[in-house]
Structure 1
Amino acid sequence: MPYAWVEPEVALEYKRIKIYYIYADDSMANVTRTFRFGYSIFSDDKGEDSFDVRDLAKMIGMPCPEKWEEIKAVLIAAIDKGVLTQEGIEGIKV
């Protein structure tokens, strides 16, 4: 069966930075990962342009998120602090 690449859905757009959902097995037919996100439209489960929001929370001194509102708060705080940018996570990958 042929497959077509489609741009992933945006999980959060804040201050002109887009954070994308990561899909299980890189297929939009599957559910999105709960804690794994990407900062590139080409992000995948194992790529250098994806990250675990729980690790990001530790980096910026926030509690480990469990619900979407907590995840969103971590992403926004990391962007506000300049840690999470469209190019990557400062201090980890750029």
Structure 2
Amino acid sequence: MNVNNSGSDLRRNKMLETITYKLAKKNRRRYCKNVEREREKSKEKNSSIVKLNLREFGLLLAHCKLQLKSVTASVISTIRERARFQKPFSFTHFHAFFSFITTFFF
């Protein structure tokens, strides 16, 4: 098949190629800007998530400390109750151990 390309057809094809190239370039720039915006948004989201998790972790840690103190106090009172009927040296060892834990960790 012999295709006859006139000058006007060649110019039209060249214009279409140029327009297509310019649109692709413009879209590529727009796409890159959108990608940058999305990255910034995700960074903001991630940083706020980290702050929230740190805050929650701090609250959880404070709660655990309070729970440990109350458990330690109840254990010491239980040991005191039992120490009345047993030899006093066992109470002394337990009391020293729990005193060490409470002073060391708090």
TM tier relative to shorter chain: under 0.3
TM-score, structure 1 normalization: 0.21
In our comparison, the structure showing a higher alpha carbon Rg is: 2
